[in-house]
Amino acid sequence: MTNSDALSATELAELRRRYRVERERRVRPDGARQYLAADARFGYYADDPYAGETPGREPLRDRVDVAVVGGGFGGILAGARLRQRGIGRVRVVEKGGDFGGTWYWNRYPGIHCDVESHVYLPLLDETGYVPEWKYAPGEEIRRHAVRISEKFDLYADALFSTSVTSLTWDETSEAWIVTTDRGDEFRATYVVTATGTLSELKLPGIPGIEDFKGHTFHTSRWDYAYTGGTPDGGLTGLSGKRVGVVGTGATGIQVVPKLAEDAGHLYVFQRTPSTVDVRANRRTTAQDVGADHDGWARERRDNFLRVVSGESAEEDLVADRWTSSAGLLEKLLPSFRRPADRKAFEAAYEVTDGTKMNEIRARVERIVIDADTAEKLKPWYRYACKRPTFSDLYLQAFNLDNVTLVDTADTHGIERMTERGVVVGGTEYALDCLILATGFSVGTSGVHSGQLPVHGRGGVQLRHAWQKEGPRTLHGFTSNGFPNLIQLGGTQSASSVNYTHVLDEHAVHAAALVAGAEARGAVIEPSREAEDAWIAVLAGNAPDHEWFHAECTPGYYNGEGRGRPNGPTAYPHGAYAFHDLLKRWREESMDEVLQDRTSARP
């Protein structure tokens, strides 16, 4: 961390003061309860606009080797890695009409992934595919999900437009009974849950939301029948229309420039501005990304993880704004670093943070012509308080005559909705269409919320067991009392900004567990002691970042300003170290979770 652009003590004190004011303006007493789920009377918000007519089929009553719940990248990678291990019948059950998960549902105009395509798209070495853009459009990523699924023959047994409704361990057949909303009741020796962390869309609990008579939808269910066009734009259905968009997170930032191109008038309802850094998307060649030898993509992906995890790396291959700001991500994703002099480290960190945020605010001022609008677009919080975003089009959109920024911070978001539109600060904005870019219930998997009941040994429901004792796992994947159940990408493991990399490492692990159990004729189940030992690892080394998030503007990183969940939820040394630990454990200790089929654990 460099102090070269050191801010003075006065400047830092002023930043702290301003950040506190901005936080206080925004904290709401109802915290996360302000949001509505897209169910019951709002269930239509979650309908699948892409699947077309769902063909009927007979309910299944058979047995497969592995049931994978979810056909996003987690489920696809689990399937691929299981196939590589020679596992025969792998049945992916997916709510959407095809594979893709996030990239199936999110097809909004302007959609791209802001993590470099050459590290984000998984299994590039295995599929021989080399993306042509530094940051890939959503449709290319969705097609890659299909490519992997085809290559590893996952379509043969997949069930689409089908939701798993329960998982019940049957001692007699030593298998999970899987039921679905299509009447299926089949058995699976193993279950891998890959239900995603951003799969439940959320709606703003704006008073009167149901009164609005105009058109409305969530960005993850884009209504092209209404807007016309494609993810590339050309939204001719919006010409002459008054369009509102709520939300200026990573989705809002991508969608606004496309809406601005075609809407008669666009109102952007902002509550907290995002940090919008340079993106610099560009075409790339295979040569640019070193795609000239086997394993190039794995090397690049590992290098990216090293850099963003704060590990030492000889080179920064990706060299973008994620990697150059990596040092500022440590409050978000724990790293391996444990500086000897914590006080000096935090002081230097604050200077770097303030310098970066000043740069982000200066960028707004440089780009946005209207001074009042520019002022409102400036983010006043520390870098890791909100998910950083990157765009070279978003801020520029506010220079167009047909775009108006409506700041809603003083009223904690939109005040209310009427038949005609939305009300902010006593002013009614009449709208033909209101688009909700309000995100997802982050981290909510049906397994944890109870929406997908999982009954293990003795009929014990996982959610109830965890409510009593808090989450109990070994490495985040397996739990005592729930044999042959592997949870992917969940709590008590480690994450990264390149989430597909994390999912792939988890998939490799899941496949190794299944292959190990098959080879040994065993069931997979950790002891309570192994869970205790893992929880001790998490708790004993957890970095203290609570104070940082307690001073942030509200958002899903800090429980909407009301604190983070209790208990250690992540491996404290980051994803790079976690993957290493898993690899060593597979080589040396995996037998500890492989139990004889007949000996149920106490």
Q: Which two tokens stand for residue 362?
A: 């200066």
Told to check if 387 binds ligand NDP by CB under 6 A, we report: yes
Q: Which residues pair with 522 in a beta bridge?
A: 596
Q: Segment near ligand NDP (CB under 6 A), from 107-115, 346-354, 454-462, 582-590?
A: 107-115
Interface residue with ligand NDP, options 325, 391, 408, 480 (CB under 6 A):
408
The string of DSSP codes covering 478-502 is BBTTBTTEEE-S-TTB---SSHHHH
**447 touches 199 (CB < 8 A):** no
For residue 286, which of 117, 498, 113 has the smallest C-alpha distance?
117
Q: Which two tokens stand for residue 135?
A: 């940051």
Q: Which two tokens stand for residue 531?
A: 């869970």
Told to check if 71 binds ligand NDP by CB under 6 A, we report: no
Residues 6+ apart with CB under 8 A from 333: 308, 309, 494, 495, 496, 497, 570, 574, 575
Q: Minimum distance between the CB of residue 493 and ligand NDP, rounded to whole angstroms?
A: 17
* CA atoms in the 13 A half-sphere facing the CB of 68: 36
Q: Minimum distance between the CB of residue 247 and ligand NDP, rounded to whole angstroms?
A: 3
Binding residues for ligand NDP, total number by CB under 6 A: 28
CA-CA distance, 132 to 282, in Å (whole number)? 9
Q: Minimum distance between the CB of residue 464 and ligand NDP, rounded to whole angstroms?
A: 29
In the complex with ligand NDP, which residue's Cβ is closer, 116 or 261? 116
In the complex with ligand NDP, which residue's Cβ is closer, 162 or 438? 438
Told to check if 327 binds ligand NDP by CB under 6 A, we report: no
Told to check if 249 binds ligand NDP by CB under 6 A, we report: yes
Interface residue with ligand NDP, options 66, 124, 243, 246 (CB under 6 A):
246
Q: Minimum distance between the CB of residue 220 and ligand NDP, rounded to whole angstroms?
A: 7
Q: x/- contact string, 548-587, with ligand NDP (CB under 6 A)?
A: -------xx-------------------------------
* First-residue to last-residue Cα distance in the chain: 51
Looking at residues 163 to 182 of the shown chain, list those that interact with ligand NDP (rule: CB under 6 A). none
Q: Minimum distance between the CB of residue 248 and ligand NDP, rounded to whole angstroms?
A: 4
Could you say which DSSP state residue 37 is in?
A: E
Told to check if 332 binds ligand NDP by CB under 6 A, we report: no
Q: Minimum distance between the CB of residue 249 and ligand NDP, rounded to whole angstroms?
A: 3
**Can you tell me which residue has the tokens 């395509």?**
117
In the complex with ligand NDP, which residue's Cβ is closer, 217 or 534? 217
Q: Minimum distance between the CB of residue 516 and ligand NDP, rounded to whole angstroms?
A: 34
**554 touches 413 (CB < 8 A):** no
| Residue 410 CB burial class (10 angstroms; 0-12, 13-18, ≥19) | exposed
Interface residue with ligand NDP, options 114, 157, 432, 531 (CB under 6 A):
114
Told to check if 414 binds ligand NDP by CB under 6 A, we report: yes
Told to check if 115 binds ligand NDP by CB under 6 A, we report: yes
Interface residue with ligand NDP, options 196, 413, 490, 574 (CB under 6 A):
413
In the complex with ligand NDP, which residue's Cβ is closer, 254 or 281? 254
Q: Which residues pair with 169 in a beta bridge?
A: 176
For residue 29, which of 205, 198, 201 has the smallest C-alpha distance?
205
Q: Segment near ligand NDP (CB under 6 A), from 140-148, 248-256, 259-267, 284-292?
A: 248-256
Told to check if 354 binds ligand NDP by CB under 6 A, we report: no
Backbone angles phi, psi at 436, to 5 degrees: -100, 110
In the complex with ligand NDP, which residue's Cβ is closer, 87 or 308? 308
Told to check if 251 binds ligand NDP by CB under 6 A, we report: yes
Told to check if 405 binds ligand NDP by CB under 6 A, we report: no
For residue 205, which of 349, 449, 37, 401 has the smallest C-alpha distance?
37
Q: Minimum distance between the CB of residue 114 and ligand NDP, rounded to whole angstroms?
A: 4
Q: Segment near ligand NDP (CB under 6 A), from 112-120, 124-132, 447-455, 573-581?
A: 112-120
**415 touches 198 (CB < 8 A):** no
**Ordered strands of the 403-407 beta sheet:** 215-218, 433-436, 242-246, 265-270, 403-407
Residues 6+ apart with CB under 8 A from 224: 49, 107, 230
In the complex with ligand NDP, which residue's Cβ is closer, 87 or 318? 318
Interface residue with ligand NDP, options 169, 186, 222, 269 (CB under 6 A):
269
> Where on the phi/psi map is residue 89: left (φ > 0), alpha (ψ -120 to 50), or beta?
beta
In the complex with ligand NDP, which residue's Cβ is closer, 182 or 301? 301
Q: How far is CA 593 from CA 329, 502, 580, in A?
A: 34, 22, 19
For residue 164, which of 443, 507, 454 has the smallest C-alpha distance?
454
Q: Minimum distance between the CB of residue 475 and ligand NDP, rounded to whole angstroms?
A: 23
Q: Within the chain, what is the greatest distance between any pair of CA atoms?
A: 73
In the complex with ligand NDP, which residue's Cβ is closer, 377 or 437? 437
Q: Minimum distance between the CB of residue 39 and ligand NDP, rounded to whole angstroms?
A: 18
Q: x/- contact string, 430-449, with ligand NDP (CB under 6 A)?
A: -------xxxx---------
Interface residues with ligand NDP (CB under 6 A) are 112-115, 198, 204, 206, 246-252, 254, 269, 271-272, 387, 408, 413-414, 437-440, 555-556
